[in-house]
Amino acid sequence: MEKELRVIISGGGTGGHIFPAVSIANAIKAKRPDAKILFVGALGRMEMQRVPAAGYDIVGLPICGFDRKNPLRNIKVLYKIWKSQRMAKKILRDFKPMAAVGVGGYASGPTLNQAAAMGIPCLLQEQNSYAGVTNKLLARKAEKICVAYDGMERFFPASKIIKTGNPVRQNVLETTITKEEAREHFGLNPHKKTVLLVGGSLGARTINESVLRQLGAIAVSDVQFIWQTGKYYHDSIMGELKGKDIPNLKVMDFISDMGAAYKAADLVISRSGASSISEFCLIGKPVILVPSPNVAEDHQTKNALALADKGAAICVKDADAPDTLIPLALDTVRDGDKLRSLGENVLKLALPGSAGIIADEVIKLAEAM
């Protein structure tokens, strides 16, 4: 009889870290229903809500990032790191994991540092084409590093790298409703062309500004829009929309069922984070990408151009978006040949089964203890 499998998964901060982490956990449970899985996140970050909603236990560390604008505040940050290291050590001693998985984000630093020091085998999952700071620091302590892009030897030892692709949310792949049913789910006309606007789990200012600037064009168009504003921007946007009657614009702060949202859409407008791109590839969804300029080494532009250069996406610069994004979307969503070409080309770039491949690696590490 197999001994009980115990795994810790740590990281978070944004949906780009959390959704792959939950997908890995689900894949482990599918292969080993007996598995006990505990998440470790950062207090006050979105994983503290999203992970329990997915059915898993999570404990929070008081970890946060360094303040580059006000160095004096980093005295407090250093104390939080020290405290988080001590808490992580106790969590590991109490839970007794056989493997630890880091998905990037603040909390994975102290958790995997302590796990490695205690002889617990560690696996890293790096979503982006440009590795995050935490994963780069942890790389020498990890047994395996799962990546989604070629050329990651720039950051990690080649002998540890496995190209798996990025795990995505199950509801994105498993949606069984029709396009018409999905549109009705959002209270929209089941037969009209539909554009989905998403700025990531926290929202995107530029995409939101692009919509606000083009409300007139949207209102008179024959196209309907589903607009995820992000919780941070939602109240101010609803204030701007007060008194405006635009029935073909469905505004939401957060969409929990992205599978239905993608199914409803003929075209998606999105930032070019790694997890989102993986989803578009796997479902073959036509997309206009607006890379965020506020990321390390401008990696979102690199992500977007990797698709655009293969005819698998349209790329719009952040600075150009407020004037050009919505007119371009309206032209593109009406062009059946263009949509078909984008969908076929993006599907060719898919790396399916990522969560299952990573789960197999985690189980192997755990069983080798």
- For residue range 10-43, list pLDDT tens digits in order: 998 777 788 899 999 999 999 999 999 999 999 9
Q: What is the pLDDT of residues 178-206, one digit of tens each?
A: 999 999 999 999 999 999 999 866 668 89
> What 3-state class would DSSP assign to 296?
helix
Higher-scoring residue by pLDDT: 231, 249: 249
**Contact present, 142 and 330 (Cβ < 8 Å):** no
Residue 109 and residue 116: Cα distance in Å, rounded? 11
Q: What is the average per-residue pLDDT within 231-240?
A: 90
Place of tokens 């939401």: 252
Average pLDDT, the chain: 92
> Which residues, other chains included, contact 18 with Cβ-Cβ below 8 Å and sequence gap of 6+?
11, 12, 46, 47, 50, 51, 103, 201
Instruction: Write the pLDDT tens digit of every residue in 116-151.
Output: 999 999 999 998 888 888 899 999 999 999 999 888
> Residue 1 above 60 pLDDT?
no
Please report where in the chains the tokens 């062309």 appear, as a residue: 193
pLDDT of residue 202: 60
Least confident of 160-174, 209-223, 316-330: 160-174
280 pLDDT band, cuts 50/70/90, is: very high
| Model pLDDT, residue 17 | 84
Q: pLDDT grade, residue 162 (50/70/90)?
A: very high
At 175, the pLDDT band (50, 70, 90 cuts) reads confident
Greatest pairwise CA separation for the chain in angstroms = 66
Bridge partners of 287? 268
Q: Find the distance separating the first CA and the last CA of the chain, reported in whole Å.
A: 16
Q: Using an 8 Å Cβ cutoff, are 21 and 9 in contact?
A: yes
Number of CB atoms found within 10 A of residue 149's CB: 20
163 within 8 A of 353, measured Cβ to Cβ: no
Q: In this structure, what token pair is assigned to residue 248?
A: 């073909």
Q: What is the structure's pLDDT at 2?
A: 64
Residue 251 has a CB neighbour count (10 Å cut-off) of 16
- Alpha carbon distance 340, 27 (integer Å): 32
Contact assessment for residue 306 and residue 340, using Cβ atoms and an 8 Å cutoff: no
Range 269-282 average pLDDT = 92
9, exposed or middle or buried, with CB in 10 Å at 0-12, 13-18, 19+? buried
Burial of 62 (0-12, 13-18, 19+ CB in 10 A): middle
Average pLDDT over residues 163-171: 88
pLDDT for 203 equals 60
**Residue 137 near residue 247, CB atoms below 8 Å:** no
CA 173, 176, 182, 184: dihedral to nearest 10 degrees? Answer: -160
